[in-house]
Amino acid sequence: MADCPTWLEINLSAIEHNTHQILQRTGVPIMAVVKADAYGYGAEKVARAALSAGATWLAVARFSEALALRQLGIMAPLLVFGMVTPPEADAAIFHNVSLTLYSQEAAELYAARARALGKKARVHLKVDTGMGRFGVLEEDALFLAKQALELGGIEIEGIYSHFANIDSIPKDPLAPIQLRRFQVALESLRDAGIDPLWKHFSNSAAALGYPETRFNLVRVGAALLGIKPFYFEPFPDYLRRVVNWKAQLASCRLLPPGWGISYGHDYITQRDEVIGVVPIGYGDGFRRHPTNEVLVDGLRVPVVGRVCVDLCMVRLTRLLPLGSEVIILGEQGHESIFIENLASRWGTSQAAVTTAIHQRVPRIYIRD
Ligand SMILES: *Cc1c(COP(=O)(O)O)cnc(C)c1O
């Protein structure tokens, strides 16, 4: 048991296992996506685990995340998905961080900074095939590529796109349409003699379920972290779960009938009830939702009353010692609460659940 009221236990051996499995199943190099502190798991640890297990590339959303990894001595090829400011572009070029080429303005910025530094800016051209986010439409890809090359100082080392629905719809009907658009962009570049080395489209779901989308690199976040790749399928037997969110029971008392619990007294005891206090609240990323549950004493118990910033109350079946293990995410006895269960209860995505777990919850790294 950790020496704190609540903590996240993250199994690095499981991340390595998942990396091996994905490498084996896809047969192509992996770009480990560690944006947003690797969805809350810790970007450095996840990056090192994935690289040690054979991942080739890393990716983040912001340049600040890339710089943090470089300053920790992580020198693997590294792509920034998002926008960079002019000073960030300078630093990215200096630190050999690859940037996303998604507009004419971005091309002009990268080219100007690269020329000023006397170095090449390495870029991956982003094609918007149906996400409506970064990128150019397939018919504009060649124009942007040519323009970037004519400006000078830019090396187009990659080209990529991103699926919108592939993890949430069986046999996603948009996927082949998106894929076709990407191929149109690739062919237009190829016809003009431009053939970027790295072609990538797949996220976790596409990499594992749609072999035709793998090209020569797959961008994998969720599956490395033991987050279910497909919302509509059970957890795959070849992946391992990675995270447990635990807490220690902070108080446990028998309260009389008619006793109001927490702000607003949304819950009032019906009889003599054992009410426990769990040291997790919405300040930790445990959302205020009317039907939360946790595991205590091998049982699934209801959270009663409103979730506070730092605490919530649970109705127990018997008095338990303080410090008893409470599971917010994980397994206890025959019961389990997994990321997908919390995500569907809260009506959000799995990555949104783990990414919102606040930094004050210590991350404890284990191996087995
Ligand atoms: C977040 C992200 C990924 C990773 O997706 P997972 O479903 O977590 O594997 C891949 N590519 C891009 C562009 C992303 O933004």
169-221 pLDDT per residue, tens: 999 999 999 999 999 999 999 999 999 999 999 999 999 999 999 999 999 99
With cut-offs at 50, 70 and 90, classify the pLDDT of residue 77.
very high
Mean pLDDT over each residue of the chain, to the nearest integer: 98
pLDDT at 1: 57
Domain harbouring 276, CATH code: 2.40.37.10
Write the CA distances from 216 to 59, 111, 233, integer angstroms. 16, 26, 26
Pair (215, 85) in one structural domain: yes
268 and 173 in a common domain: no
| Structure tokens given for 169 | 């719809």
| CB 267 within 8 Å of CB 260 | yes
Å from CA of 162 to ligand 1 middle? 8
Domain boundary among 192, 225, 258: 225
Q: Which atom of ligand 1 is nearest to the CA of 225?
A: 8
One-letter amino acid for residue 4 of the chain = C
Count of domains for the chain? 2
Pocket of ligand 1 contains residue 30 by CB under 6 Å: no
What's the domain range around 285? Answer: 243-337
CATH number at residue 133: 3.20.20.10
Asked whether residue 309 is domain-assigned, the answer is yes
- Do 250 and 193 share a structural domain? no
Q: What is the pLDDT of residues 3-19, one digit of tens each?
A: 899 999 999 999 999 99
Q: What phi and psi values does residue 216 have, to the nearest 5 degrees?
A: -120, 25
Q: Give the atom of ligand 1 at the shortest distance from the alpha carbon of 351.
A: 8
CA distance 156 to 5: 49
Is residue 197 located within the same domain as residue 258? no
Which is nearest to 94 in space by CA: 106, 84, 103? 84
The answer to whether residue 263 is catalytic is yes
Could you say which of 181, 197, 225 is where a domain stops? 225
CA distance 142 to 153: 17
In whole angstroms, give the CA distance from residue 11 to residue 9.
7
Pocket of ligand 1 contains residue 203 by CB under 6 Å:
yes
